[in-house]
Structure 1
Amino acid sequence: MTSVKQFQVTFDCAEPERVAAFWCEVLGYVTPPDDKNAAVDPDGVGPRLYFQRVPEGKVVKNRVHLDVRVGTGLVGEERLAALEAECARLIPLGATRYQLLLADEENESCLVMQDIEGNEFCLD
């Protein structure tokens, strides 16, 4: 049986090139010269992101979302400071702050945000 080694994450959106450019800035990805609707990791480590135009707008919460790992290994105030710093960097790019989820018995703090078309993602 063959095992899958690579995958692509696909976003439905109204403006693929604009959303691709946003995610390139968020993740440090680049737009490949042959596909302005995609974002790829220049180091070839992270998954390829693809943005496809759809006619309908976003209606409900995402069932799948990206976690942007900016606080890995950090806890408490140090983690919150890293999340807030990244949030401050992303807001001028068009992201929206949605909800801060504070640490509990099971999870560390994370910050829920939305991209320029309202897709949720977490600063984790």
Structure 2
Amino acid sequence: MAARIDLTLDCADAQLLAAFWRTALGYVDEPPPAPFATRAEWLAQFDLPEGDSEDDGAWLCDPDGIGPRLSILRVPEPKTVKNRLHIDVRVPGHGGPDERWARIRAESERLVRAGGSVLTEFDGHHVTMADPEGNEFCVAAAAP
């Protein structure tokens, strides 16, 4: 059996990035682990440093249970270099190259409206983007 993975994204504003990635991926807030009714209850079991709060983290999941969980955690240090690992947002659908490229462009435009920015377009293939805190990701067509 293959291992499952979670992705963790460090950030300055967990709620800002959670809103962006919910929109980008169609993810939802992950419920707190059993037996806790809320994230605040779950976090209360940890000895969090003074000044840390529930808003310093967000946990997102694929509502269909297929994609990896995404943990978004506030850290004190800023992003300083290009990501060594990034997310590829795959746009579904079929058709020829022009149709796939039109879907990629439409998705990148949607994500710009959600707070992302276009870094580079590789015409006909993919768009490299950044989320609101500058974390790079790509928008490309799903595998046929």
Report the alpha carbon displacement of residue 79 of structure 1 after superposing the two structures with TM. Answer: 1.9
Residues 72, 112 of structure 1: alpha-carbon distance in 2 compared, 3 angstrom cutoff:
farther
Q: TM-score, normalised by structure 1?
A: 0.85
Over alpha carbons, which structure has the higher Rg? 2
Counterpart of 1:23, as a letter, is W
Question: Where does the alignment leave 5 or more consecutive residues of structure 2 unmatched?
Answer: 33-38, 40-56
Q: Which residue does the alignment assign to 2:89?
A: 68
Counterpart of 1:118, as a letter, is G
Q: Which residue does the alignment assign to 2:128?
A: 112
Report the alpha carbon displacement of residue 71 of structure 1 after superposing the two structures with TM. Answer: 5.6
Percent identity over the alignment is 44
Q: Which residue does the alignment assign to 2:30?
A: 32
* In structure 2, distance between residues paired with 1:72 and 1:66: 19
| Runs of 4+ that moved beyond 4 A | 71-75
Q: Which moved more, 1:38-47 or 1:94-103?
A: 94-103
Q: TM-score, normalised by structure 2?
A: 0.74
Report 1:7-86 matches (<5 A). Answer: 7-34=5-32, 35=39, 37-70=58-91, 75-86=96-107
Counterpart of 1:44, as a letter, is G
Q: Secondary structure at the match of 1:122?
A: strand
Counterpart of 1:5, as a letter, is A
Does 2:138 correspond to 1:122?
yes
Contact 1:26 / 1:90 at 8 angstroms: preserved in 2? yes
Report the alpha carbon displacement of residue 4 of structure 1 after superposing the two structures with TM. Answer: 4.8
* In structure 1, distance between residues paired with 2:96 and 2:81: 31
Q: CA RMSD in A?
A: 1.8
Question: Where does the alignment leave 5 or more consecutive residues of structure 1 unmatched?
Answer: 104-108
